A and B are shown apart, each in its own frame.
Chain A
Amino acid sequence: MSEHELVTRLRNGERRALARAISLVEQGGPAARAVVAAAYPYAQAHRVGITGPPGAGKSTLVTSLAQEWRRRGVPVGIVAVDPSSPFSGGAVLGDRIRMQALGGDPGVFIRSMASRGRMGGLARATADAVTLIAAAGFPIVIIETVGAGQDEVDIAQTADTTIVVEVPGMGDDVQSIKAGMLEIADIFVVNKADRPGVDQTVRQLRTMLQLGGAPADGWSPPVLTAVATTGEGCAQIVDAVEQHRQYLANDGAQASRMRALAERELAAAVQELILERLRGQRWEELVKEIASRRRDPYAAASELLDG
């Protein structure tokens, strides 16, 4: 099947074509790029990122938020990323366990992805998979990150709206909000609001946001609460996402974000293509020379690029 035919089929709502196309972009290579290229013009979705520590309730929240959008008649695509084992390269992807309530709904498409060695909370192919799901006609695509806590800032460059999930009981440990998380959040959600300590956590977050000064781009991230297991608070979160989307559309902020996203996509594509072209016999020789310290990586790189 040609790449164009695959994209035509997925745009016609063939779920199996969409699933196949995602596998293709996960593999990478020329066919993967052709599929993304064919889908790209049709990929008009609002991308919602969900990040936060393991066990915070991200998968459960994704489920409740998707249910809320479904109640509003909006189809929802979901990409859930889990870590690959650094030892075997394999993975157990368990986010679907929490998403069973979404089963049987043709307006929902869920895909699990292994990070495949990529750091930063997403897989190399996550953005491309989201493009395909968007092109298949899902106006909202939710991305759940690995959730390792630190360094998960990639999501802010992939999503239009980033939700950072925390849980009550941070106590005095202000450090438990990992560096960087404050900056990337468009919306904070204190989940597990059925547990003690919610008000304190909300207050702490608000204080930290105020200490951070006025937001550079004019959007003040709201701090909301939720009980993901019951869906409580999820309507307000969906409202906040829609408000953020409006804000992006009206304020020109969307333009600068789109530019940042585009720049990142271009950089990733350039890197992929260059690596693919340069890998070969000389590459292998240089790797050996660097490993034995007979040559430094910069000299090797300029030899490869400049000849």
Chain B
Amino acid sequence: MERKIRVLVAKPGLDGHDRGAKVIARALRDAGMEVIYTGLQQTPQMIVEAALQEDVDVIGLSILSGAHMTLLPKVMQLLREQGMTDVLVVAGGIISDEDAEILKREHGIAEVFGPGSSTQAIIDFIRSNVQLTRG
């Protein structure tokens, strides 16, 4: 049977901007994915724990607070500690191009999607980069 793509959509940190996260969650659902939405104010620990319990293939992080350079690397570090390096991690929100470059190159975030990104581009990216053959 075809394996469903499971995605955790989470908002790390303290900002209350949740429109983008909700838009993404619904778009991924409409693309046939199963989205676990954990809501606002997630610590990196909570995010990684939820991803582990839910056995997700993808983590989507939405952050508009400006704290992405501390919170996103922390999430990546905890994932490595748990041996969860096969999980695809994408981010979105207000993240400058320079920061996005560093997050991708140095921390292993697969892609960053800023304001105005088309949801179809996000869906396509996930579909072509997700690893569904995890052991």
Spell out A's residues near B (CB within 8 Å). Answer: 1, 15-16, 19-20, 22-23, 26-29, 84-85, 87-94, 96-97, 100, 103-104, 109-112, 114, 116
Contacts and interface: CB of A to CB of B under 8 A. Distances in A.
A123 to B, nearest CB: 11
A1 B31 contact: no
A91 B83 CA distance: 27
B119 to A, nearest CB: 13
A104 to B, nearest CB: 6
A88 B37 CA distance: 17
Interface stretch (B42-50, B58-66, B99-107): B42-50
A90 B32 contact: yes
B37 A90 contact: no
A90 B30 contact: yes
Contacts of B55: 16, 19-20, 22-23
A28 B35 contact: no
Given A26-B4, A93-B37, 16 more contacts: A16-B82, A27-B3, A88-B32, A90-B30, A90-B34, A91-B34, A93-B36, A97-B37, A97-B39, A100-B38, A100-B39, A100-B41, A103-B49, A104-B49, A114-B4, A116-B4
Given A88-B30, A92-B25, A111-B53, A1 B38 contact: no
A15 B34 contact: no
A28 to B, nearest CB: 6
Given A15-B53, A88-B31, A90-B29, A112 B46 contact: no
B52 interface: yes
Contact of B53 (A89, A97, A100, A110): A110
B121 interface: no
Contacts of A27: 1, 3
B2 to A, nearest CB: 9
Contact of A28 (B1, B28, B42): B1
Contact of B34 (A22, A104, A109, A114): A114
Contacts of A110: 50, 53
Interface string B9-25: 00000000000000001
B29 A88 contact: yes
Q: Name the interface size band of chain B.
A: 20 to 34
Contact of A29 (B1, B33, B53): B1
B45 A112 contact: no
Q: For chain B, what secondary structure do more than half of its interface residues adopt (helix, strand, loop), or is it mixed?
A: mixed
A111 B54 CA distance: 6
Contacts of A22: 55
A90 B46 contact: no
A111 B94 CA distance: 30
Given A19-B53, A20-B55, A103-B46, A96 B32 contact: no
A90 B36 contact: no
Contacts of A109: 53
A89 B6 CA distance: 12
B16 to A, nearest CB: 14
A96 B37 contact: yes
Contacts of B39: 94, 96-97, 100
B48 to A, nearest CB: 11
B115 interface: no
A109 B33 CA distance: 22
Contacts of A96: 36-39, 50
Nearest to B57: A23
A85 B26 CA distance: 11
A85 B30 contact: yes
A90 B33 contact: yes
A269 B81 CA distance: 39
A23 to B, nearest CB: 5
B46 A85 contact: no
Nearest to A108: B53
Given A19-B54, A19-B55, A104 B45 contact: yes
